[in-house]
Amino acid sequence: MEKQERKPWVPAKKLDTDYPLIDSDPHFKRVCGYARPSDYLAGTAFAAAGPALMLFWEQISPSHVGRGGFAPIMRLTGVISAGAGFFLFYQRSSMRFYGVTEDRREIDMDMKEMVAKVKKGQPLYGESELSDYMQGVASRNSRYAGLFLHLMPWFNLVNHKQHGVDTAKYYQQAERELEAELTSQTLQTLGEPLAQISLATVALILLLITYFILSFTELEALWKLSEVLNTYWSFCYACFLKPHSGDSSRSQQDALESFYSAQAAIYDKTRHKLLHGREDMLGLVAAQLKHKAETAQLSTKPVWVDIGGGTGYNIEAMSAFLSVPDFFQKIYLVDLSPSLCEIAKARFVRLGWKNVTVLCQDARSFRLPNHQHGSSDSGSLFSIGQSAYETEDEAEAGSADLITMSYSLSMIPEFYPVIDSMSSLLSPNGIVGVADFYVQKAARRDYLEYKFGTILSANARNHFFGFRIPYYIWIGCSKDSRSSITRLVELDATVTESPYISALDLQSRSTQTLRRSSSIDRRSKAYESAIINLTASLPLPAAWYQSHHWRVYYDDQLQKHKQFNDEYIYAFTWEDSRVDQRLLNIKSDDVILAITSAGDNILSYALEKPKRIHAVDLNPSQNHLLELKVAAFTSLGYSDVWKLFGDGQHESFRDLLINKLSPHMSSLAFQYWLSHSATFDTKSGGLYFTGGSRHALKLVQWLARLVGLRGDFRRLCTAGTLNEQREIWQKRVRRVLLSRLLSWTVIGNERWLWRALGVPPAQRDMIERDYVKQDDPQSAGRSGAKSGQAIWEYVVNTLDPLVNNTLVSEDNHYYLLCLQGKYSRRCHPAYLTPKSHIKLSQPNAFDGLRIHTDELREVISRMTPETLTIAVLMDSMDWFTPGGPEAGEQIRAVNRALKFHGRVLLRSAGLTPWYIKTFEEEGFTAKRVGTRVPGTCIDRVNMYASAWICTKVAPVPNEDARRQMRPAASS
């Protein structure tokens, strides 16, 4: 028995009447509005009859109620009679809606009203905020209520949709009237002489254009044009007009053949613009295979299976990245459409590629050993979800190193068994590449990512004739290839500096066994997420399947990461790496923790080859930038590295990203740079005109154009001596850049300081407090009146000494970059020298690098105590609110992670920052190693007022000891 559909209302019964039904529950306004003059006359007469009869009766038989007693009786009679007259009026009009009485006039009025609403796009029976159920309740209470007004006066005052008639007639009539109106207007227009002349003119122009095209165009071009038109007509017909049925068997193959047989010959021509991402997917898997070959992860030539390969376009397109006949041992194209397979066979005969086999076969039943060893098809089927091979040796011999699907997964109705068979077919070290439409009815991509580990994943859109078609590219591997618990613990150990099991520091086991028990409980967030996934039989997060484990897993959906809106603040670093090296004297056994920023300082530290570098930044985009730089040094030659980070521009960045950089990047970083590939466009400003710091560079460039300083800037960038530089600066440039008007309107603007220079309000307050103390040493408060003056003074003390003491063209790449938007071959960071490239491009140059995307305190708290030797906090302590608990908590966390005599390098906008006292209370000795005295430079950046080295001399004191230290410190 079929289950009946439940409706939110009970259909109205139809009365057996002599006339058509207009509305079983007409609204009060419609009943009154459709009333005839006779209804008004009848109602009025009936209402007047009551008082008239009462008056007549009083004349025949007086009531003798006395003076004034008869008037109330007449009023009551009038009210009752008026109500009765209205009910009669209302009932007479309602009866025509029900079809009880003649209703020809009302039918015409109803049709006219409803058609007008259809044309205006309005609801037929008015708008209602009630649910369908409540509208049904209202309808049931008042339908056919006009029949019972003499028993229970009831009116419909609700707009609802249940009126007992088929409303399609209104829409059909509206369509007919609109067509008639359009036809009438068209005929009227064509009948005008001006329109006739215009049509004749257009026809003549088309005739002349056709004549000249035929006269001056070669027949070959016309033939090509006709071929193009014929191709796209065939495509449109096959896709949108031709009925698709197949034969009586109704199999998937018949359905596919019905669709593709008419367009097999033109398939490649029509899909080039429609199916984007295929070439990118091939480039990505080719890059993965080349990396595996270069690192000896492939013992033999790989085997490639292209599922749903169609005409073989993918295999031929792969030749742009690899030598298909030489690189691959064997290639199998598996497709279910005979027409497409015939095109593919002809393609490879033309190319002369002997290692390609085309199989017209269901992908669910494909088994590689059948074709490698020549066995029969009888054993080609296997159970879904189980291995296709009976023994491990057979699986090893019959596995594929590369499986690709290009816009074929979305065409497979029963995709689960196909993906299951792929997981059985793939070798333990194999690669899967998929490109397909992003929006699909079934969870194809979800199941794909469930069965395999994700290496790279990217979403994009194809702009096709005004449409933005979403598609994705996904590169995966066997989800069990790198998920052993031992491997996880080894990787986790390098993140947390745990001595328990460390692939890089096995020798430290014997010397640090005392801390073993405490390290067992210290796990990174990446390790915790991996254990959760393994417990649920899910693949590990994508970070675990990367070729390198520089980037530590983080949850990119957290709001603390999203707050940066996919943009880094710093495109270059403002800390002087030369001074850092002098102050820190980095050794090979140092374990360094530093803030990522733009990554320049991290690369400078890597040149000194410390044991480990932990780069930390809450902004994912800052770490994406560092990861790009590390991948570039790992995979690119010096000329490409210079173009990217010296000039900040590269004409082929996207190709480099896909073909060379992708195997060395995490999935999130790759997605970021794929969607921001225009960053290095030669037509734009380049890398250093992106991010928050672009505002500072653009302001400088804008001022140069506005006041004619561009020539002066160029001379500053090429000045050969300090005297020449000082002369250029004093003559014009200083008067503009250090004008008080500019300082107060731009540099003194709190929002601009944050967006362009990354100066938070707390750091600005430190600058202003120091300025106030210069005028009044007893004052420590902020003076709002002197805010702009303080910033101006700070900028003067920054720039004047720089110009007088450092030669921008040769020894100050920080300000050279600000002036011209790129580095020069004479002046650039140390990591951009050819000698540095040789060091940083070594295979193990970044083995000790770990990139953390999290708060500094979160990262430090998960590290094994007493493992860090150096912590470079830059000016991050300036960001804390004075007196708040956050600074003390971070300082205590740093103390726990540092070894004894470990050092913390700080820079500050204040001469004596308030948090130095907190360091001293928490087991450090503080030494100021740099002070910006007016007229001198603290370093080549000269942006900070002081630099400090805080050395750990004691563990974190308990609360009692801390209370004892505070009075002593205050005394």
> Is a pLDDT exceeding 60 seen at residue 515?
no
* 926 and 861 within one domain: yes
* 935 and 846 within one domain: yes
User: Considering 529, 545, 561, which residue would you say is the last residue of a domain?
Assistant: 545
pLDDT digits (tens, 9 = 90+) for 87-97: 999 999 999 99
What pLDDT shows up at residue 774?
Answer: 73
pLDDT digits (tens, 9 = 90+) for 731-756: 888 887 777 666 665 555 555 554 44
Spell out the residues 6+ positions from residue 816 whose beta carbon is closer than 8 angstroms to its own. 717, 808, 809, 823, 824, 827
> Is a pLDDT exceeding 80 seen at residue 645?
yes
Average pLDDT over residues 673-700: 87
Beta bridge partners of 613: 592, 849
What pLDDT shows up at residue 281?
Answer: 95
Cα separation of the two ends of the chain: 93
Residues 316/347, Cβ–Cβ less than 8 Å? yes
Sheet containing 849-852: which strands, arranged edge to edge? 849-852, 612-616, 591-595, 868-874, 898-908, 946-952, 924-931
* 413 and 450 within one domain: yes
* 805 and 731 within one domain: yes
How confident is residue 514, by pLDDT bands cut at 50, 70 and 90? very low
* 493 and 616 within one domain: no
> Is a pLDDT exceeding 90 seen at residue 284?
yes
Average pLDDT over residues 357-363: 89
How confident is residue 549, by pLDDT bands cut at 50, 70 and 90? confident
Instruction: Evaluate whether residue 784 is within a structural domain.
Output: yes
* 475 and 496 within one domain: no
Lowest mean per-residue pLDDT among 25-29, 123-127, 445-449, 757-761: 757-761
What pLDDT shows up at residue 574?
Answer: 86
Number of domains making up the chain? 6
Average pLDDT over residues 280-288: 95
Instruction: Evaluate whether residue 661 is within a structural domain.
Output: no
DSSP 800-861: HHHHHHS-HHHH-HHHHHHHHSS--SSS--GGGSHHHHHHHTSTTTTTTEEEE-S-HHHHHH
* 276 and 130 within one domain: no
235 vs 399, residue with greater confidence: 399
Percent composition of the chain: helix, strand, coil (DSSP 3-state, to 5): 55, 10, 35
Instruction: Evaluate whether residue 303 is within a structural domain.
Output: yes
pLDDT digits (tens, 9 = 90+) for 178-208: 888 888 888 887 778 887 888 888 888 888 8
What pLDDT shows up at residue 493?
Answer: 65
Q: What angle do CA 302, 303, 306 make, to 5 degrees?
A: 130
Residue 907, Ramachandran bin (φ over 0: left; ψ between -120 and 50: alpha; else beta):
beta
| SS3 of residue 783 by DSSP | coil
> Is a pLDDT exceeding 60 seen at residue 170?
yes
Instruction: Evaluate whether residue 243 is within a structural domain.
Output: no
* 899 and 778 within one domain: no
Lowest mean per-residue pLDDT among 167-171, 364-368, 902-906: 364-368
* 271 and 148 within one domain: no
> Is a pLDDT exceeding 80 seen at residue 12?
no
Instruction: Evaluate whether residue 382 is within a structural domain.
Output: no
> Which pTM does this prediction carry?
0.71
- Write b or e for each residue in 756-792: b if 16 or more Cβ atoms lie within 10 A of its Cβ, otherwise e: bbbbbeebbbbbbbbbbbeeeeeeeebeeeebbbbbb
Range of the domain at 696: 692-819
Residues 324/318, Cβ–Cβ less than 8 Å? yes
Instruction: Evaluate whether residue 772 is within a structural domain.
Output: yes
Residue in 862, 854, 848, 952 with CA at minimum distance from that of residue 898: 952
Please give the helix or strand (H or E) that residue 614 lies within, else none.
strand 612-616
948 vs 525, residue with greater confidence: 948
Instruction: Evaluate whether residue 159 is within a structural domain.
Output: yes
Spell out the residues 6+ positions from residue 386 whose beta carbon is closer than 8 angstroms to its own. 424
pLDDT digits (tens, 9 = 90+) for 717-730: 999 999 999 999 99
d(CA 464, CA 470): 11
Instruction: Evaluate whether residue 587 is within a structural domain.
Output: yes
How confident is residue 3, by pLDDT bands cut at 50, 70 and 90? very low
> Is a pLDDT exceeding 90 seen at residue 494?
no
Structure tokens at 310: 């169609």
pLDDT digits (tens, 9 = 90+) for 405-457: 998 888 888 888 889 889 889 998 899 999 998 865 557 888 898 889 899 99
Tell me whether residue 864 is exposed, middle or buried, using C-beta atoms within 10 angstroms of its C-beta: 0 to 12, 13 to 18, 19 or more: buried
* 732 and 870 within one domain: no
* 882 and 792 within one domain: no
pLDDT digits (tens, 9 = 90+) for 99-152: 889 989 999 999 999 999 888 888 888 888 888 888 888 888 888 888 888 788
What pLDDT shows up at residue 256?
Answer: 67
Spell out the residues 6+ positions from residue 411 whose beta carbon is closer than 8 angstroms to its own. 256, 308
What pLDDT shows up at residue 962?
Answer: 53
What pLDDT shows up at residue 218?
Answer: 64
What pLDDT shows up at residue 202?
Answer: 87
Residues 932/945, Cβ–Cβ less than 8 Å? yes
Spell out the residues 6+ positions from residue 803 whose beta carbon is closer than 8 angstroms to its own. 725, 726, 729, 734
| SS3 of residue 160 by DSSP | coil
E strands of 293-443, at which residues? 303-307, 330-335, 356-360, 400-406, 426-437
Task: Output the average pLDDT for the chain.
Answer: 82
Count of residues for the chain? 971
* 231 and 142 within one domain: no
> Is a pLDDT exceeding 60 seen at residue 608?
yes
Q: What percent of the chain has pLDDT over 70?
A: 80
d(CA 111, CA 119): 12
What pLDDT shows up at residue 189?
Answer: 78
> Is a pLDDT exceeding 90 seen at residue 496?
no
> Is a pLDDT exceeding 90 seen at residue 4?
no
What pLDDT shows up at residue 350?
Answer: 93
pLDDT digits (tens, 9 = 90+) for 804-844: 999 999 999 999 998 898 999 999 999 999 999 999 999 88
Task: Report the CATH number that the domain containing residue 313 is assigned in CATH.
Answer: 3.40.50.150
